[in-house]
A and B are shown apart, each in its own frame.
Chain A
Amino acid sequence: MRRFVWFLVIALAFLHYDFWYWDDRTLVFGFMPIGLAYHAGFSLAAGLVWLLAVRFAWPANLEAWADEVDDAAAADAGEGR
């Protein structure tokens, strides 16, 4: 599933280049130029794909790694937590 999610992200990147609507002035719902409607839909699709990403491609071990204390590095940075 993780790979499928990343495939969807890459697919979206390609779908962003909608050359097929380049000179199309069709109005969707009577007011929305189709080139704008497509990209508004793209934004919604991006939100959906990122929902899948946080559900199925979440880096579960990141949190635990962040919580491990690295005293030497913290001293280097001169900043406590």
Chain B
Amino acid sequence: MSEIESRGYVRPEVLVSTEWVANHLNDPGIRIIESNEDPLLYATGHVPGAVEVDWTRDLNDPVRRDYLGRDGFEALMRRIGVTKDTTVVFYGDRNNWWATYAFWVFQLFGHDKAKIMDGGRIKWANEGRPLDKQAPSYPASDYKAAERDDKRIRAFRDQVLQHLEAKKPLVDVRSPDEYSGKKLHMPEYPNEGALRGGHIPGAASVPWAKAVNPDDGTFKNAEELRALYEGDAKIKPGDDVIVYCRIGERSSHTWFVLTHLLGFDKVRNYDGSWTEWGNLVGVPIER
């Protein structure tokens, strides 16, 4: 049993270690993908053979506030040489925050041969593993993408309103100051793109990074995660859960934890999140 398998996750196969990645650098069935918040990091050195998927340029529609459509996803997959049979392995900065975001977007198109490298970029670097500055090039694939399916793992504002009226569970993964609305009222902080501060009524507060060991950026074990979500936030694997943050990136990390590590059946990410809810006219807000 591997160390990751010993942590008690429901789907341990979705997480791989840095050592596993090091042993699969030349595996043609694997495409390693770096996704960061900091646009400079990839070029300073990355896992050898890793391609970059940038969340603003590659995953978002350049005009509308929405993700890329089927054609865009198909073009992206072809460009990075991924086929239907390729397993993509994401990693990145900020405790894999952006890596899980990219992972989640890939799931909107049903590319379920996907994994996350536990500990992300900093663990790889701290272990003294090689970093390559040269961006690799792969032959273009003939990937045929499915239409984007927003129903399964994505929630929109009207659904969130119905959800809260039905008193179903929500998890707010922002910082305590954002949750309380305090941050918008602190004069030294810039406005965060929302006119109102606070949280969606009834949402439990579980800041996303609590799911991660601060020492090495790896995910906490299943028992610790259950204490956090099933204990503190009082949500259960059979619940219909919506998670949100400011624009849906941090909450994709929590979506990953609940769905794959703890095996929750129905978790949706509300990517409109606080930048939408905190600007909506007439919706309820709690402080």
A and B interact physically: no
